[in-house]
Amino acid sequence: MFYLISFIFAIIIFMKKRRFLYQLILLLLVSFFIRCKTESKQKVVEKQSKPTSKNKKVVKIDKPFDSINHNNAVDFLIAYGKEHKSNKVKFKTRLGSFTVLLYDDTPLHRANFIFLARVGYFNTTCFHRVDENFIVQGGNSENGQTLGFRNKYENYTIPPEFRKHHKHKYGALAAARDWENNISKKSTPFEFYFIQSKNGAHHLDGLHTVFGEIISGFDTLDKIAKVRTGRDEWPLEDVFMEVIVLN
């Protein structure tokens, strides 16, 4: 570039006396510089228009909020419990209502109960086993929706959370579990029972996780315990429930 410009200026000096040639060369020189400047601008614009990583659209794929299953149950419940601190629920039945406190020191069972209450599982169930002066058990039904929930969540289980100071006293809430092929005493997430015996059922201490207790409405529990049942202890007239998270 330097040599070309020097050559052109030499010609200009040489051809100084020839006005026409001098003007022509000057015109060519100006045109040359304008063209170079235009090409330089175009290159700069092209570089700026290229997409960068900052401009790329990031697509975030979120898992469903109820994506719990038998493989991730513990991790799911730990995370769910941290986000949902609720520890009180209200049971509504055709025989009355009662309120339950869920223990904070049984975090997996508390989180599980709140989760299933919020997704509406318990509202598809009833108290399906009633043994007066012993227990009132709920969390199951002949409703197809109940089975649908269980299949969706792959019938996961919960590790036991035994606490010596949580006993099977009157009004205690505990988790049901399978007794066969269950050495670790894992709880079923779907079924639970209340102790209806005024003397408690302390032979179950250390065998089932106690994770809550009734704090008001004991009369409703006693009314449920008095309903007529068949040989399988299933009430002849279903006692369905609605579980509402209070806080």
**Judgement on whether residues 146 and 187 belong to the same structural domain of the protein:** yes
**Judgement on whether residues 43 and 109 belong to the same structural domain of the protein:** no
Which one, of 233, 219, 245, lies nearest residue 95 by Cα? 219
pLDDT tens figures, 143-178: 999 999 999 999 999 999 999 999 999 999 999 999
**Rounded (10°) CA dihedral 174, 235, 241, 119:** 70
pLDDT tens figures, 96-149: 999 999 999 999 999 999 999 999 999 999 999 999 999 999 999 999 999 999
Proportion of the chain above pLDDT 90, given as a percent: 72
In the predicted structure, residue 189 carries a pLDDT above the cut 70: yes
The verdict on residue 62 lying in a domain is no
User: How confident is the model at residue 67, as a pLDDT?
Assistant: 86
Cβ atoms of 157 and 68 closer than 8 Å: no
Q: Which domain holds residue 184?
A: 73-245
**Judgement on whether residues 175 and 236 belong to the same structural domain of the protein:** yes
**Judgement on whether residues 14 and 120 belong to the same structural domain of the protein:** no
Average pLDDT over residues 81-101: 97
The verdict on residue 185 lying in a domain is yes
At 146, list the tokens.
Answer: 């109940």
Query: What is the C-alpha separation between 48 and 60, in angstroms, rounded?
Result: 27
The verdict on residue 60 lying in a domain is no
User: How confident is the model at residue 66, as a pLDDT?
Assistant: 75
In the predicted structure, residue 224 carries a pLDDT above the cut 50: yes
User: How confident is the model at residue 50, as a pLDDT?
Assistant: 39
Domain tally for the chain? Answer: 2
Angle at which helices 107-119 and 73-83 pack, to 10 degrees?
A: 80
User: How confident is the model at residue 73, as a pLDDT?
Assistant: 96
At 97, list the tokens.
Answer: 């209502």
The verdict on residue 54 lying in a domain is no
**Judgement on whether residues 151 and 112 belong to the same structural domain of the protein:** yes
Secondary structure string (H, E, C) spanning the chain = CHHHHHHHHHHHHHCCCCHHHHHHHHHHHHHHHHHHHHHHHHHHHHHHHCCCCCCCCCCCCCCCCCCCCCCCHHHHHHHHHHHCCCCEEEEEECCEEEEEEECCCCHHHHHHHHHHHHHCCHHHCEEEEEECCCEEEEEECCCHHHHHHHHHCCCCCECCCCCCCCCCCCCEEEECCCCCCCCCCCECCCCEEEECCCCCCHHHECCECEEEEEEECHHHHHHHHCCCECCCCCECCCCECEEEECC
At 222, list the tokens.
Answer: 């006693």
The verdict on residue 178 lying in a domain is yes
The verdict on residue 64 lying in a domain is no
Query: What is the C-alpha separation between 186 and 48, in angstroms, rounded?
Result: 61
**Judgement on whether residues 44 and 77 belong to the same structural domain of the protein:** no
**Judgement on whether residues 160 and 120 belong to the same structural domain of the protein:** yes
Question: What average pLDDT is seen over the chain?
Answer: 84
The verdict on residue 203 lying in a domain is yes
User: How confident is the model at residue 145, as a pLDDT?
Assistant: 96
CATH number of the CATH domain containing 145: 2.40.100.10
pLDDT tens figures, 54-72: 444 443 334 557 789 999 9
Cβ atoms of 162 and 174 closer than 8 Å: no
First-to-last C-alpha distance (Å) of the chain: 79
Query: What is the C-alpha separation between 81 and 21, in angstroms, rounded?
Result: 89
Rg of the chain on CA atoms, in Å: 39
**Judgement on whether residues 84 and 177 belong to the same structural domain of the protein:** yes
**Judgement on whether residues 114 and 218 belong to the same structural domain of the protein:** yes
Under the banding of pLDDT at 50, 70 and 90, the label for residue 32 is low
C-alpha angle 237-109-222 in degrees, rounded to nearest 5:
35
**Judgement on whether residues 33 and 147 belong to the same structural domain of the protein:** no
Proportion of the chain above pLDDT 70, given as a percent: 74
The verdict on residue 27 lying in a domain is yes
Average pLDDT over residues 92-99: 98
**Judgement on whether residues 28 and 113 belong to the same structural domain of the protein:** no
Report pTM.
0.74
Under the banding of pLDDT at 50, 70 and 90, the label for residue 45 is very low
**Judgement on whether residues 159 and 222 belong to the same structural domain of the protein:** yes
User: Lowest-confidence range among 40-49, 113-122, 184-193?
Assistant: 40-49
